[in-house]
Structure 1
Amino acid sequence: MRAIVYEEFSVLPQLRDIEPPSAPSSGVVIDVEATGVCRSDHHAWSGHDSTITLPHVPGHELVGRIASAGPQVTKFHTGQRVTVPFVCGCGRCRWCLSGNAQVCPDQTQPGFTHFGSWADQVVIHNADANLIAVPDDLPASAMVGLGCRFATAFHGLRVRANLHEGETVAVFGCGGVGLSAIMIARAIGARVVAVDVSDAALDRAREHGASHTVNATGQTPDELSAEVIAQFSDQSPDGVAVSVDALGREDTITAAIASLAPLGRHVQIGLLAAPPVVDVGRVIGLELSVLGSHGMAAAEYPEMLDLVVDGKLRPQDLVTNIIGIEDAPAAMEALGSNTGSGMTIIDLNR
């Protein structure tokens, strides 16, 4: 089968023919219909993820159909159209059984712990606990982002931060995951201020639900947080209820936490190459919450999927580029300097 493979970190991946996989006893092989190009793929390719064993096939956001299933799979069948969280639980531990497979200590992750979805086929382990059936009539562009961007943003806002209608949210970074967070916050009924250094990204943020935007170019974290707070001075003069760092930079985290009102909640989604310095004194003094969002368990998908089916969430509107698998190596390299907004997906049938 075709697959994108890299044998060294930060060295351009190559399109190759490799042996197709076999289904594990409790897993499946999926014929990949489409797969996402995510900044997390670039982090792994850059050597920032200790789970990667070389050579490696990236890719963790996908939609496709089950090609074969192991004998222990009972809830899904061959030919069924499915997606999957990028964090797959074991299905047996107390975390999985409580609906929190995203923190399973024995988790697997396509594109990280084993070969991923930048290929004609991908293996998913513990299928009964991790697969999500998706409608046949929705476009692939509406499904791909549910594996990572939309799932991580939804879990962070709805579950971790317990965001409610009428609250205020500041989203720092308007790439794929940032725009996903904006769309989700608006679907919940929150008011959103979007922060980025790109006017084009901020324009897209407005298109997808941000009522206010702030260009962060040249601003210090203190200046930036003050401008963010000023956007909602009529409703929340002390700061926003929830902040989201969707970029993964120490200065944006600093500004995000500084923009929070007392008892505010910060959601950290963006990955960092090194641990940041956080204003712990402010966190303690204002009783702020700093929350991580590491994907979303399959058990939490129904609410988000219902919003997509009903048209209240339209992940397909974030797709700005559809490429063939032969263009994936260049797309990986471009992630290192890409400042644009939106989402690129690989169409395996193209």
Structure 2
Amino acid sequence: MRAAVLREYGEPLRIEDVERPEPDPDGIVIETDACGICRSDWHAWQGDWDWIGAKPPTGHILGHEPAGTVIEVGEDVTRLSEGDSVAVPFTLSDGTCPECRNGHSNVCENLLPLGFADPVPGAFAEEVHVPAADQNAVTLPDGVSPVAMAGLGCRFVTAFHGVVHRADMDAGDWVAVHGCGGVGLSAVHIASAIGANVVAVDLDDEKLAKAEELGALETVNAAETDNVPRAIMGITDGGASVSVDALGIAETCQNSVSSLRRRGQHVQIGLTTKEERGSVELPTDAMVMKEIEFVGSFGMQPPRYDEILRMVESGTLDPSAVVSETVTLDDVPDRLAAMSDYETMGIPVVDTF
């Protein structure tokens, strides 16, 4: 089968013929109908995240936002059958650890990140293996577009978990979203859908216009603003109740925390780059005096995907609205390179392999 393989960090992925996967007894193989191209793939391509143990080895297949059709089923799988349409989270869990048993499989103690760890080759490929499939694969309703569902592997569900499950907000609260890439635009759309007043922050007017299209009431161009937190304080009459760092660089994290009103809540979704290597300086004294909360958010538990699917069915949410373009597997190296200069918008999705 054809796949996009990492041979050297920072060099274009190679489109190669590789061995097709075979299912483990508890696994399935899906034919990949669509796979999002995420900024996390860019980090993997650059060789980032060795500081958290998520640097993929060379020779690895990247890609972690798949939707596809089950074509082979392991003998121990009970919930899935050939022909099922599924989405696959990047946070592959084992279902046996205390976190999994308590409903927090997105932070499984034995988590394997799809497309990043050696045992789980990714989905920039014609087929992909899903281990512990009864635990991890999410069956999709009939008639949904695989392209629209590709973001359920990572960005859309990550934004949903951060905004809906981890944040503490009410309808009418001001929410600031820092960074309008795929996860940031998803957060804008979701926060607006549940009744928040959203301020979107980015350096790019085109991305800010897209944020307005997805529900942002106000925007701040950080390239044209001397003090982003002060601008948000003015727009929100004292600061946001919730502020989301959807990018992960020091500046957006610090701006997010400083954009909050008293007893506000910062939600960290973006992971850091080589510049920060996992650590960002924060205004801790101000956080103490204003009782600011700092909350991390990572992936989402598969059993909760139904919350999104019900909102999609009702028309409240539309993951396809965040999809910017569809491309072929051969386009993946160029799309990753474009992310080096933040030249992609929304979620590019591979739909031709």
Q: Tell me whether the two structures share a fold, i.e. TM-score over 0.5.
A: yes
Q: Which residue is equivalent to 2:155? A: 149
Paired residues, what number?
A: 343
Q: Indicate the SS of the match to 2:91.
A: coil
Percent identical pairs in the alignment equals 39
Offset at residue 28 of structure 1 (A): 0.9
Tell me if 1:184 matches 2:183: no
Corresponding residue for residue 231 of structure 1: 235
Hey, what's the Cα distance between the residues in 1 that align with 2:145 and 2:303?
A: 22
Q: How far did 1:338 drift?
A: 2.4
Alpha-carbon deviations, 1:155-190, whole Å to 9, x = none?
Answer: 111111133222110001111111100110011111
Q: Deviations over 1:86-135 (max 9, x none)?
A: 10111111111111111111112221112100000111111111111112
User: Is the 1:24–1:125 contact (alpha carbons within 8 Å) kept by the matching residues of 2?
Assistant: yes
Q: How many Å separate the matches in 2 of 1:196 and 1:247?
A: 10
Q: Choose the corresponding residue for 2:72, options 62, 68, 87.
A: 68
- Structure 1 unaligned runs (5+)? none
Q: CA deviation at 1:239?
A: 1.1
Residue matched to 2:110: 106
Letter matched to residue 63 of structure 1: A
**1:1-350 to 2 correspondence within 5 Å?**
1-50=1-50, 51=54, 52-113=56-117, 114-220=120-226, 223-233=227-237, 238-273=238-273, 274=277, 275-348=279-352
CA distance in 1, matches of 2:77, 2:293: 39
- Between stretches 198-207 and 326-335, larger displacement belongs to 326-335
What's the C-alpha RMSD, in Å, of the aligned pairs?
1.2
CA contact (8 A) 1:193 1:211 kept: yes
SS of corresponding position for 1:4: strand
Partner AA of 1:317 in structure 2: A
- Alpha-carbon deviations, 1:13-37, whole Å to 9, x = none? 1100000011011111111000010
Instruction: Give the letter aligned to residue 106 of structure 2.
Output: Q
Post-superposition offset of 1:8? 1.5
The two structures have a TM-score, normalised by structure 1, of 0.95
Segments of 4+ moved more than 2 angstroms? 338-341
What is the alpha-carbon distance in structure 2 between the residues aligned to residue 197 and residue 56 of structure 1?
Answer: 33
- Asked whether the equivalents of residues 96 and 104 of structure 1 are also in contact (C-alpha less than 8 Å), the reply is yes
3-state DSSP of counterpart to 1:328: helix
Letter in 2 for 1:170: A
Cα contact 1:89–1:106 (8 A) shared by 2: yes
Q: Indicate conservation of the 8 Å contact 2:147/2:351, yes or no.
A: no
1:259 Cα deviation from its structure 2 partner: 0.8
Give the Cα–Cα distance (whole angstroms) in 1 for the partners of residues 337 and 252 of structure 2.
24
Contact 1:99–1:300, Cα closer than 8 Å, also in 2:
no
Q: Secondary structure of the residue that 1:7 maps to in structure 2? A: coil
CA contact (8 A) 1:25 1:73 kept: yes
Deviation at 1:330, TM superposition (A): 1.3
Contact 1:84 1:132 in 2 (8 A): yes
Distance 2:170 2:88 in 1: 26
Which amino acid in the other structure matches residue 121 of structure 1?
E
CA distance in 1, matches of 2:203, 2:339: 17
- 1:193 deviates by 0.5
Distance in 2 of aligned mates of 1:21 and 1:230: 55
**For 1:245-295, what per-residue CA distance to the aligned partner results, in whole angstroms no more than 9, with x for missing partners?**
111211111111011111111111112122211111122221111111110
Deviation at 1:218, TM superposition (A): 4.7
Given that residues 88 and 297 in structure 1 are in contact (C-alpha distance below 8 angstroms), is that contact kept between their aligned partners in structure 2? no
